[in-house]
Structure 1
Amino acid sequence: MSMKTLKLLTILVPPLIIGGFEYVRHEFLLDSLSMETGNFYMLILTLLLSYLFASWMFRRIESVNLRLSREQARHAVYEERERLARELHDNIAQTLFFLNVQLKKGQLEEARSAVSEIDHHLRQAIFNLRTVPEESATFASRLQTWLEEWSVLSGIPVEHRIAMDLGALPPSAEVPLFSIIREAFTNIRKHSMADRAWLELVSGEEGRSTWRLRIADNGLGLAPGSADRAGRYGLGLMRKQARELGAELVLSGEEGEGLTITLAVRHSPSGEGGSL
């Protein structure tokens, strides 16, 4: 039974029962039932019916809420499985492919680096599975915690500014956006030789469904033509995730002057995404 039906029953049942009793009393029982006795019976009948109806209605509401809670729990499990599957595919599967290529080429040093990266991703995945997520934790708070942990592990200080309006980032965008951030910071740790990094994630000025991401470091920067070699820095994966968000990934920075990654997205009022 839907909540709309329960609402209608709550509105209609009490007046119909009380009105029906009053009609019967005035039409058929007025000569044999005094006004005082009728009022007393009316009070008892009202209390009894109210108790029975309220008990039944709240049992129905509890049943509906329990069913909704179970459905939400199942949905959360499915979402977490999908997130974990994408995380394993985007990180471990890609690194294993890279490891296979390097082993075929006989580049053992690169292969050792890939094995170390796989070990890092596996440990991080196991840690995420064992860690109980905070209730009502926002994407901004989770990202801030991750940045602090990354800074401790890498030894590279991170300055960050996260100012997101409520609703600016839909839940469906959190996984691909975090994948881009994680890949960018992996590149900073492995390739940039930087000693400082910056992240800025802010809501846009055009409305609620807009945001802009900027990641920068003071490392080696981009060598001429390196931006086109997507496989070297995992840029292909980052650009794929950016397309899922309806945005375009932009890299800037000269060699020796650090690297800046910018990603901005705007959703039109109809809900269709466009890139900036």
Structure 2
Amino acid sequence: MQYKRIKWLILWIPTATIALWEYVRHAFLLPYISMDLGNLLAPVIVLVVTLTLVRGLMRMLEEAHESLQRERAVKAALVEREQLARELHDGISQSLFLLAVKLDRLERETEGGAAAQTAVQLRGTVRRVFEDVRQSIANLRSEPSLADTEWMQPVMLLAEELERSDGLRVEMDWRLSELGLSSKQKVELIAIIREAMLNVQKHAGATRMLVRTEPAEGGGFRCTVEDDGAGADMDELMAKGRYGIRMMMDRAKEMDWQLDIGRVGGPAAREERGGGLRVELSSKEGA
């Protein structure tokens, strides 16, 4: 039912109820119901109609309003994402492409020298950054879905991309429902998980990764990203010029979540520098 029609029905039903009652009372019930009793029954009848018909219409009105607000929010987010994607494409993406072209020229002009080797390394770095930007543009231009069952799609799509492009086996154990999570919590949670997965791709040298999400006892949730790679020290992960771990920590701190980073297998594995990296994110009840 249309939003405006629901509002008009809510306004007119009590009025129509009183008018119908007065007509029936004066036309048919005057010999049986006194004036005082009829006046007493009028508000009772209006109350009964309000608790049945009008209350249902109010609920429908609230649902229609919430649906309209969600559509507006998605539309606004889509406009912002498209604008950001355009800025990335017109700015950073094109600059990286030109930089790659210049590095190719530098490699040809210094063929066989130390500068050529440096140019090759720089070109590889530029190519990886370019692919990250390209993936970000693709994600920004994908239309956000209103379906609650698809809110984790960015993680699923990244897992497919890692398996296709890097041969990294990604196992998903997703038991976390969207119920009880706000829109901001969903966005921050997905962003942290994606960053953890990208860190595995870039730094772990892993062949297998496990992403697990589950509700925690007593409320909240727990998310874990593990890999079978060589691992890394926190000093290396927090080194200057690396922002992935810092971004994850900042997001978790802002949401009052706990973020723990360690080695798979605990202290023994940490001492031997064996086992992959384990990133665990957890929230408190109601956080």
TM score, norm. by length of structure 2: 0.61
Q: 1:83 to 1:162 in 2, by over 3 A?
A: farther
Letter in 2 for 1:77: K
CA distance in 2, matches of 1:146, 1:241: 20
Task: Tell me: CA distance 1:15–1:183, structure 2 relative to 1, closer, same or farther (3 Å).
Answer: closer
CA contact (8 A) 1:140 1:162 kept: no
Report what 2:158 is aligned to: 146
Alpha-carbon distance in structure 2 between the residues aligned to 1:260 and 1:224: 12
- Residues 238 and 246 in structure 2, CA contact (< 8 A), matched pair in contact too: no
Structure 2 vs 1, CA of residues 110 and 235 (structure 1 numbering), >3 Å: closer, same or farther?
farther
Aligned counterpart in structure 1 of residue 277 of structure 2, from 237, 259, 269: 259
Secondary structure, counterpart of 2:283 in structure 1 = strand
Query: Does the C-alpha gap of structure 1 residues 121 and 20 become closer, same or farther in structure 2, counting only changes over 3 Å?
Result: same
What's the counterpart of residue 20 of structure 1? 22
Match of 2:39 in 1: none
Report the equivalent of 1:45.
Answer: none
- Structure 1, gaps ≥5 residues long: 31-57
Please give the per-residue CA displacement for 1:58-115, whole angstroms capped at 9, x wherever unaligned.
9xxx9999887655432212234556788999xx98xx9xxx9xx9xx9756643442
Instruction: Summarize the alignment of residues 170-249 of structure 1 with structure 2, pairs less than 5 Å apart.
Output: 170-207=182-219, 210-223=220-233, 225-229=235-239, 231-232=241-242, 234-249=244-259
CA contact (8 A) 1:164 1:202 kept: yes
Query: C-alpha separation between the residues in 1 aligned to 2:158 and 2:86?
Result: 18
Give me the identity figure in percent.
Answer: 24
Distance 1:123-1:20 versus aligned 2 partners, 3 A rule: same
Partner of residue 50, structure 1? none
Residues 1-276 of structure 1 mapped to structure 2, 5 A cutoff: 6-7=9-10, 9-10=12-13, 12-22=14-24, 25=27, 71-81=69-79, 111-133=122-144, 136=147, 137-207=149-219, 210-223=220-233, 225-229=235-239, 231-232=241-242, 234-253=244-263, 254=270, 255-268=273-286, 273=287
Inter-CA distance 88–181: structure 2 relative to 1 (3 Å threshold): farther
Asked whether the equivalents of residues 78 and 144 of structure 2 are also in contact (C-alpha less than 8 Å), the reply is no
User: Structure 2 stretches of 5 or more lacking a match?
Assistant: 32-56, 104-114, 264-269
Q: In 2 relative to 1, CA 198–176 (structure 1 residues): closer, same or farther, beyond 3 Å? A: same
Q: Given that residues 227 and 251 in structure 1 are in contact (C-alpha distance below 8 angstroms), is that contact kept between their aligned partners in structure 2?
A: no
Which residue in the other structure is 1:51 paired with? none
The answer to whether the Cα contact below 8 Å between 1:192 and 1:220 also exists between their aligned partners in 2 is: yes
What SS class does the counterpart of residue 267 from structure 1 fall into? coil
Partners of 1:239 and 1:87 in 2: how far apart? Answer: 25
Corresponding letter in the other structure for 1:264: S
Instruction: Give the RMSD, CA atoms, in angstroms.
Output: 4.3
Using the alignment, how far apart are the partners of 2:85 and 2:214 within structure 1? Answer: 24
CA positional deviation for 1:264: 0.6
**Secondary structure at the residue paired with 1:188?**
helix
User: Per the alignment, do residues 64 and 186 of structure 1 end up closer, same or farther by CA in structure 2, a change over 3 Å counting?
Assistant: closer
> What residue is the counterpart of 2:48 in the other structure?
none
Number of equivalent positions: 227
State the 1:9 CA deviation: 3.3
Q: Could you say if the C-alpha distance between residues 224 and 167 of structure 1 is closer, same or farther in structure 2, counting changes exceeding 3 Å?
A: closer
Match of 1:42 in 2: none
C-alpha distance in structure 1 between counterparts of 2:205 and 2:81, whole Å: 30
How far is 1:16 from its partner? 2.2
